[in-house]
Amino acid sequence: MKSLLSRIILVLALVLAGAMAWLWTPDRPRELLEKAYLQRPEDLMSLLGMRVHVRDSGRADAPAIILLHGFGSSLHTFEPWARGLEQTHRIVRFDLPGSGLSDPDPTGRYTDARSMELMIALMDRLGIGRAAIAGNSIGGRLAWTFAAAHPDRTSHLVLIAPDGFASPGFAYGKAPDVPVMLDLMRYALPKSMLRSNLALAYGDPARLDEATLERYHALMLAPGGRQAMIERMRQTILQDPVPVLRTIRAPVLLLWGGKDAMIPVIHAEDYRAVLPRSEVVILPELGHVPHEEAPERSLAPVLEFLTRP
């Protein structure tokens, strides 16, 4: 009996070791990531004691727009929109600390307040006094938070399925419970597992192509990136957004995919009810990342909104 038990334990140990060997996903060397995804060395800008990946394109003499990506994403998600805006705007994109090619924050702070500090530092460095702010998901929450805190620096708001209202796992005034599975992401993040999660962000999962999946996967494996993602989630403590949203005076476009499985389109009405100068455009066939899933279709109402007399 003891011999049989020992053999069973050995077999289980070998199976577990094999599974861990298959799932184990080490960091990728930063120099290889920069070779693949950095356009110019000068796009790595020193701000608040860290290197921040910034792209500044379009017309320098035109109105500026700052594009803010969502959780686990990078500035590359807005590449098609940037090309569509380059004739009418100056386009500024940056990777949040610990995302994309930006360094993790040396202070360990991943709060919205820290993001506000970074946005002001970036605008001041680039000489941008006032800009339209557009953001997707948590980038949308950062966009409206910035507009409320700095109305003199905000001309327009474009909120793409913005985060901010309470949802399962995110109650007001309370840090979320980070699932154990997310903690394990620091050690195991197979591309196949990521594909199934990213597909949920698309109204039509078939639109998630291999190049986009590889980019997400590669940049999530930047040194320190996965830990930064977990810390950003742990440090996200939502407050009732209504009192803050009511103070915003900039015109607002709410853009939402009708098939959004991450932040349901029903929340568009929550925002419209409290934003005094807002309008809603719903794209019925798209999901949580309409700017990535159907760039031309989703950019059209944004261009109309930004260039309206």
The pLDDT, as a whole number, for residue 183 is 81
64-68 β-sheet, strand order = 44-47, 50-58, 90-94, 64-68, 131-136, 154-160, 252-257, 278-283
**How far apart are the C-alpha atoms of 101 and 95, rounded to whole Å?**
7
Residue 170 gets which letter from DSSP? B
Is there a domain that residue 143 lies in?
A: yes
Is there a domain that residue 18 lies in?
A: no
Question: For the domain that residue 213 is a member of, what is the CATH number?
Answer: 3.40.50.1820
Is there a domain that residue 17 lies in?
A: no
Q: Model confidence over 247-301: pLDDT tens digits? A: 999 999 999 999 999 999 999 999 999 998 999 999 999 999 999 999 999 999 9
Cα within 13 Å of Cα(18), Cβ side: 6
Q: Model confidence over 183-238: pLDDT tens digits? A: 888 899 999 989 999 999 999 999 999 999 999 999 999 999 999 999 999 999 99
Q: Compute the CA torsion angle 234, 43, 293, 260 (nearest 10 deg).
A: 20
Which tokens in the block code for residue 127? 């000489």
Helices and strands: H and E segment counts in the chain: 13, 8
Q: What is the mean pLDDT of residues 8-32?
A: 62
- Does residue 2 carry a pLDDT above 70? no
**Pick from 253, 285, 291: which is nearest to 271 by CA?**
253
Is there a domain that residue 4 lies in?
A: no
Unique residue bearing structure tokens 């800008």 = 45
The pLDDT, as a whole number, for residue 22 is 54
Is there a domain that residue 302 lies in?
A: yes
Cα within 13 Å of Cα(35), Cβ side: 5
Neighbours of 87 (CB within 10 A): 10
The pLDDT, as a whole number, for residue 11 is 39
Range of the domain at 149: 27-306
The pLDDT, as a whole number, for residue 297 is 97
Is there a domain that residue 12 lies in?
A: no
Alpha helices in 39-90 (DSSP H): 79-85
Q: Model confidence over 148-164: pLDDT tens digits? A: 999 999 999 999 999 99
> What's the total number of domains in the chain?
1
The pLDDT, as a whole number, for residue 179 is 77
Q: Model confidence over 70-122: pLDDT tens digits? A: 999 999 999 999 999 999 999 999 999 999 999 999 999 999 999 999 999 99
N- to C-terminal Cα separation, the chain: 84
The pLDDT, as a whole number, for residue 6 is 42
- Does residue 9 carry a pLDDT above 90? no
SS3 label, residue 81: helix
The pLDDT, as a whole number, for residue 18 is 45
